[in-house]
Structure 1
Amino acid sequence: MSTIKKEIPVTGMSCSACAVAVEKALAKSKGVKSATVNYANHTAFVEWEEAETSAEMLQENVRSNGYDLMIEEIQQEELEKIQIKAHQKLKRKTLYAGLLALPVFLIGMFWMHMPFGNYIMWALTTPILLVFGSQFFIQAWKLAKNFQSNMDTLVALSTGIAYLYSSFNTFFPQFLIDKGLEPHVYFEAAAVILFFILLGKTLESGAKAGTSAALKKLMGLQPQELTVIENGKSVLKRTTEVKPGELILIKPGQKIPLDGKVKEGKSYVDESLLTGEPLPVLKSIEDKVFAGTINQEGSFTFIAEEVGKETLLSQIIERVKAAQASKAPIQKLVDKVASVFVPSVLGIALVTFFIWGFSGVDDAWLRGMLAMITVLVIACPCALGLATPTAIMAAMGKGAEMGILIKDAESLEKGRKINTLVLDKTGTITEGNPQVVEAYFLDNWNNKDSASIKAIETKSEHPLAKAIVFYLKDVIEEIEIKDFKSDTGKGVSASWNNIHYKIGTWTWLVENGLQYQESTLAESEKLMADGASLVFVSKNDTLAAYFQISDPVKKTSLEAIKALKKMGIEIHMLTGDHKNAAQRVAAQTGVDFFKSSMLPHDKAAYIKELKAQGKTVAMAGDGINDSEALSLADLSIAMGKGSDIAMEVAEVTLVHSDLQQIPKTLELTRKTVKIIRQNLFWAFIYNIIGIPIAAGILYPAFGFLLNPMIAGAAMALSSVSVVSNSLRLR
């Protein structure tokens, strides 16, 4: 059964309660396996069974709840244009509402007795409500038909009641005058409240766009157009139109648009986006190239292999988007609060109205109506809804910018609790690329021997053979060898010009009749005791040379481990290598605990043992032979190299394969959770303090009743402050 995973833009949401309602509508739809709605970027991340439902059916379910899904396939740049257009429209509405609200405010506050003042205020307030603020009333009505409520319900009720009451008093003032009451109008309250709410939404919309800046930067790395070679001619095409197998021309300075293999030509390519390495990499025939990397001086053609969402860059972007759409465990609690928040506020507002009405104070019902309006305005749940997702979006974006791909929001929360880090040695602490540190040539060695050994090792499949070939790269002379034989895991042999060479382990050479001097053996044993790997060469069964090979420690590993220790994290190193090699690397990097000769299941058992001791464990490895241990750790970190980036097992992938990214990752998780908690604290405190004051709790002691206009400004400020606090992560 085919499963579809898709990110779909959502329209019509105005607060976190809306996101909860859309999420519920999607989750209840037949065939939907999971649905997450992110209020911060107005998208739904949905997974459903293709045989049981369709995007059209999901859209219908969401529409029946007063919202909508943009199910048509739409390019990111087109979606951005729509969002920019919506933001510009909102800005215009806010500007016009502000221009009309200002004279209403001045008349209502300072010149309320001017001739025809009430009629002027009515004329100016009406378009604010019915034109520039109409979205609130339309959405509230849609929801009311489905017995639902959200932020728009609170805004529509508060401003609508104020407007209707004031309009009645403007056209029928005698009704209250006959009862001995002054016919007050509150047009300024309705007008200014709507202006402040529109202003808050405009600022919020602009600030939320900033949380996706890193994602947009990644998307901008892929060119929109490219040159395809068809029948020997250059044809300009859009990147989205290219199919696998097409031949693409890359000129000097161009960004590479898709993933593929070089067909003809060679050039240096800047792959710092993927590897973090500043030096360009030489690409020649059959070498892999990746979308988003930058060609340097030369020209070449390559065959497109991965296009569209299959490219490495697209996978990174999709991973960041999925992470931004995910919810931290703490957000699930916020969603529960948001789902009951609006009905609770409506109840509080109604109770407030009746308590005031029966209180016996002067103008009791009038004061009750004003207090009810103020409660409805000040209790906006926007700040609550934005507290977590904006921080997560900012953190994921910042992480992507730094080359840290975080799988989901839950991983962010886990990262904060880590107190123990287990590191794989090869490829994590070390380069994972063995190199000849020193070559020891005996008296019977000459240049022809170097050429012969290079020729033999070129044919060998042993990992250490590549190190010897690279060490002998300056040997230009090419030699034809004969009788090549390989004894897997032990060594290789071949002949040239009646000279028979053997290259391999000490034991294997001795078994095959090696002759040597005791002093040479003593020197080599000392090197092996220091953790070096040695490859020996015999020439007609006489020892002729040996190569000292080590996997060098990454330059940044020592600093990274120091930084982690300073953060109070205990460091452990596990390796399948022998004890001497492990001891040497541990001594070089300051690792306190290490285990050698570890098989994959040994590493997994070690992780279990640490967790049994009550430790919260992160594991960093290459994601292949460490996969079992990674899956058992509380937080799994993969060292990504090129196409290894999309490792499914890891919750965090470090694009640059640099150990220094780990303390940065853990620091980012700590800061993000801190920001989320600050946001939630202020959002909750705002409502806990604001609602009772709005209801009039201070009136009996101090005679203070909060003005609805001030409540509207405070509500807008709370949302903007939460988003601004989240943006500090960037």
Structure 2
Amino acid sequence: MSPEAIPTSAPTTRPAPADSAASRRYEIRVGGMTCAACASRVERKLNKLDGVSAVVNYATERARVECPADTDPRLLMNEVERAGYTARRVDDVRTDDGPGDGRVTELRWRLAVAAVLAVPVCDLSLALSLFPELRFPGWQWVCLLLAGPVVTWCAWPFHRAAVNGLRHRTSTMDTLVSAGIVAATLWSLWVMVKGGPVEPGLGRGLAVLGGGDHALYLDVAAGVTTFLLAGRYVEARAKSSAGAAMRALLALAAKDVEVLREDGPVRVPVSELLVGDEFVVRPGEKVATDAVVREGRSALDTSMVTGEAVPREVLPGDAVIGGTVNAGGRLLLRATRVGADTQLARMGRLVERAQEEKAAVQRLADRISAVFVPVVLVLALLTFAGWLLLGGDTATAVTTAVAVLVVACPCALGLATPTAVLVGTGRGAQLGVFIKGPQALESTRRVDTVIFDKTGTLTEGRMHVVDVWASPGTGRDELLGVAAAVEHASEHPIARAVVAAAGSGPVPPVSDFSALPGLGARGTVDGRGVVLGRDRLLADVGFDIAGDLQARRASLEAGGVTVVLVGWDGAARGLIAVADRARPSSAAAVTALRALGLHAVLVTGDNERTAQAVAAEVGIDDVVAGVLPEGKAEVVRRLQGEGHRVAVVGDGVNDAVALAAADLGMAIGHGTDAAIEAADIVLARDDLFVVADAIELSRRTHRTIRWNLAWAFGYNVAALPLAMAGLLGPLIAGAAMALSSVFVVSHSLRLRRFTPTHGEPARPAPAVLSR
């Protein structure tokens, strides 16, 4: 996907400020929103301000605002409050307590009171409707006494939001609900005070017809209020749970740390930690920040950060991630990143940004929601008038209009996409998959080809000694020891591999060391002039290379490994073969991708022989070797020109161009900043199964969004005509409306239980490259 196709900020209804350097971003918690129409109203209000570009997410109850740098944030919050909502600035996602926590408690109390009072009023109405002989004088006043608190105090959130909307000349879902409750209540009061007979009317309100002009609909008003409060309560709890994974991730950070100062160790808050500070992590403690191991060895539990179930062993020189738990020995670490620069904080921002951006289909749903409420109000009036014109009694016309008002539910439309994105990205964070936005979710379902970089992606990115062969008369340990003595003075990756293979024992001193770039190195060890490197170097200095040693070298190089010859006293004494090993998970991960219907391609700047060897080891058939960074992007564009949707997995600066050119860019989390910024998805785990996990999770999330939208649209298309025709009573309409939103949120919450399959059967992958 090109950079132009990937918005770096949330999509908006107007262009973002042109000069990003002169702009600033604010996060605002918006309270009091009850449906997607509310979010649309706040968004419109903010976007009317000069230079302001805002996106409001109903599911997360947050507004992300970009504005000129000199904009007073109080102006933004005042605009939200003038729209009828509360506003609170959030400077850091860690300071935010999640959407709707206080609202859940309020709704719980209102629902409890409503249920206690509505059940007896509905039961009484039903009993008196079925058995007229049970009616007693003043029964209607008992119903009013029971229903009164329900339609006033319990239903107050609906009335308050409706009044706020009228004051600002707008309408929301609460306008419909409040109008329905008020209409049923006022009609009942009119029947009670006008004199004449009074009938229980609808009983439980399950039917529309049969009440007559003397029917009392207090049971309808109380029952609808209870149903809708139950739906709102379940929805609020589910929305709060949807972001639980993200909040758990951000809560991983340690609170304090033991730092080594000149006068000894001292425990300080993590906020006081600086880059370069050395600190101690004991067994069971959290790593305070991103760091590198100075002393000690241990195993780190990274499951909550990267999703890896098996603790990772770390040694001096290894990088560690803040938020992981030390499961083994004592470690002395040096801080490399602190505060907002740590991987945990950066990953948190990625998920936060993904949850706040809107997919194209969600923007369409928001536009529909914005005009839906006025349309429903008009339909309710038309329904009322139509029933009267067709000869129906007033009570039937009122009840039918109430059913139309109550059954309409734009909330489900507004929740369909953001709740799925919220839960899906949170679950991805638990698995080590950080999705930057809904666009990435939409891209993954079309991907059919995955391009892998080699070094650091399919392979571990570190040289290892894979073979040591000594000529007759020379011991293997002697050969390694002499080579390590010379290489100990070098920082070359091959030199580090040789030193590591020799072990941690004492190394003989070396003198007269000199590195020969591109050829090898030489030095004096124990009085012997040692040369090691390519066969050409040894030949140039006149060393004899035996035939069997040459044959062994040629055989190993044919397998794609790098061979270092070692010689002294005028002859080659043996060889050391080094290679960048494939990750243990690479072969199985490629198999898992095939099972998902994806075709794998290896594109690398390394030589053909090495690339083919690695490809054969991991099971990739198509290889393009010896290409520069721009050449990788050309391969991407060629495949796209052939009609393929291409994902690129890489970790280095040389992969950034290809990552940006791809339909879907995936960066290994330990890679360079350039690669991470260019990618659509960041993969935090070291095993490549995470690539299959990311694609499968994205597909599942997108499938959930489609089902949610299908339900939300289908519900309204089917329910409104039925209500207008008199086939849905107000209580059934209220229950259906509440359940529609609950269904959408609950369906999204199923993503919390997502577990990768790694191998479900799929269609055969297309052949995309021929060599």
TM-score, normalization by structure 2 = 0.86
Match status 1:46 vs 2:65: yes
Aligned-pair CA distance for 1:635: 0.1
Of 627, 632, 642, 1:603 maps to: 632
Could you say which residue in structure 2 is the equivalent of 1:537? 566
Structure 1 Cα separation of the partners of residues 119 and 516 of structure 2: 90
**C-alpha contact (below 8 Å) 1:274/1:641 kept by paired residues:** no
- Corresponding position of 2:285: 254
| 1:655-680 superposed Cα distances (whole Å, 9 cap, x missing partner) | 11322122222111221121111111
For 2:67, give the aligned amino acid.
W
Distance verdict in 2 for CA 1:124–1:228, change over 3 Å: farther
Residue number in structure 1 paired with 2:235: 204
Report the CA distance shift for 1:411/1:199 in structure 2 as closer, same or farther (over 3 A): same
Q: Residue 418 of structure 2: which of 382, 385, 389 is its match?
A: 389
- What SS does the corresponding residue of 2:582 show, helix, strand or coil? coil
Is the Cα–Cα contact under 8 Å of residues 543 and 572 in structure 2 kept in the other structure? yes
CA contact (8 A) 2:293 2:314 kept: no
1:648 counterpart SS class: helix
State the one-letter code of the partner of 2:87.
Answer: L
CA distance in 2, matches of 1:329, 1:441: 64
Cα deviations by residue, 1:259-292 (Å, 9 ceiling, x for unpaired):
44668877554345556373443465x8655321
Question: Aligned pair 1:726/2:771, yes or no?
Answer: no
| Percent identity between the two aligned chains | 35
For 1:655, the aligned partner's letter is A
1:173 partnered with 2:195: yes
Contact 2:533 2:565 in 1 (8 A): yes
Unmatched runs of 5 consecutive residues or more in structure 2: 1-20, 130-134, 200-210, 753-771
Is the Cα–Cα contact under 8 Å of residues 575 and 597 in structure 1 kept in the other structure?
yes
Instruction: Spell out the pairing of 1:113-192 with structure 2 (5 A cutoff).
Output: 113-173=135-195, 182-192=213-223
Structure 2 CA distance, aligned partners of 1:240 and 1:141?
45
Which of 485, 503, 526 is matched with 1:455 structurally? 485
What SS is found at the alignment partner of 1:9?
strand
Per the TM alignment, residue 374 of structure 1 is displaced from its structure 2 partner at its CA by: 0.7
The question of whether the paired residues in 2 share the 8 Å contact of 1:421 and 1:571 is answered with yes
Q: 1:441, 1:546 within 8 Å by CA — same for their partners in 2? A: yes
What does residue 311 of structure 1 align with? Answer: 342
What value does the CA root-mean-square deviation take over the aligned residues? 2.8
Match of 2:525 among 472, 493, 496: 496
Hey, what does 2:127 align to over in structure 1?
Answer: 110
Matches within 5 A, 1:686-701: 686-696=715-725
Partner of 2:313: 281
Equivalent residue for 1:699? none
Secondary structure at 1:347 match in 2: helix
- Conservation of the 8 A alpha-carbon contact between 1:386 and 1:719: yes
Match of 2:112 among 87, 95, 108: 95
* Corresponding residue SS for 1:551: strand
Deviates more, 1:250-259 or 1:365-374: 250-259
Residue type of the partner of 1:8? I
Matched, 1:717 2:746: no
- The answer to whether the aligner puts 1:505 opposite 2:534 as a matched pair is yes
* Distance change in 2, residues 1:287/1:161 (3 Å): same
Structure 1 residue 623: deviation in Å? Answer: 3.9
Task: Rate the CA distance shift 1:2–1:512 in 2: closer, same or farther, 3 A.
Answer: farther
- Choose from 455, 479, 502 the match for 1:472: 502
Q: 2:432 aligns with which of 383, 403, 423?
A: 403
Deviates more, 1:486-495 or 1:291-300: 291-300
- Check the 8 A contact 1:640/1:653 in 2, yes or no: yes
1:84 to 87, 92, 101: 101
1:284-433 mapped onto 2 (5 Å cutoff): 289-299=320-330, 306-361=337-392, 363=393, 365-433=394-462
Which amino acid in 1 is paired with 2:310? P
The CA distance in 2 between the partners of 1:216 and 1:19, in whole Å, is 22
Per the alignment, residue 15 of structure 1 pairs with 35
SS at match of 1:459: coil
SS at match of 1:149: coil
Q: Is the 8 A contact 1:270 1:281 kept in 2?
A: no
Specify whether residues 643 and 194 from structure 1 end up closer, same or farther in structure 2 by C-alpha distance, changes over 3 A only: farther
* Contact 1:128–1:194 (Cα < 8 Å) also in 2: yes
Contact kept in structure 1, 2:659 and 2:665, CA below 8 Å: yes
Shift in Å, 1:328? 2.0
CA distance in 1, matches of 2:583, 2:617: 11
Using structure 1 for the length normalisation, give the TM-score: 0.91
Distance 1:589 1:404, change over 3 A: same
Which residues in structure 2 correspond to 1:653-672 (within 5 Å)?
Answer: 653-672=682-701
Contact 2:508 2:526 in 1 (8 A): no
Query: What does residue range 225-240 of structure 1 map to in structure 2 within 5 Å?
Result: 225-226=256-257, 239=270
After TM superposition, the structure 1 stretch with the greater mean CA deviation from structure 2, 597-606 or 230-239, is: 230-239
Aligned-residue offset at 1:11 = 0.6
Paired residue total: 714
Give the 3-state SS of the residue equivalent to 2:452 in structure 1: strand
Whole-Å Cα distance in 2 between the matches of residues 199 and 226 of structure 1?
45
1:16-66 deviations in whole A, cap 9, x for unaligned?
A: 111222222233333334x33222222223333322x23211111112222
> Secondary structure of 2:728's match?
coil
**Structure 1 residue runs without a partner (length 5+):** 697-703
Match of 1:70 among 76, 88, 101: 88
SS at match of 2:457: helix
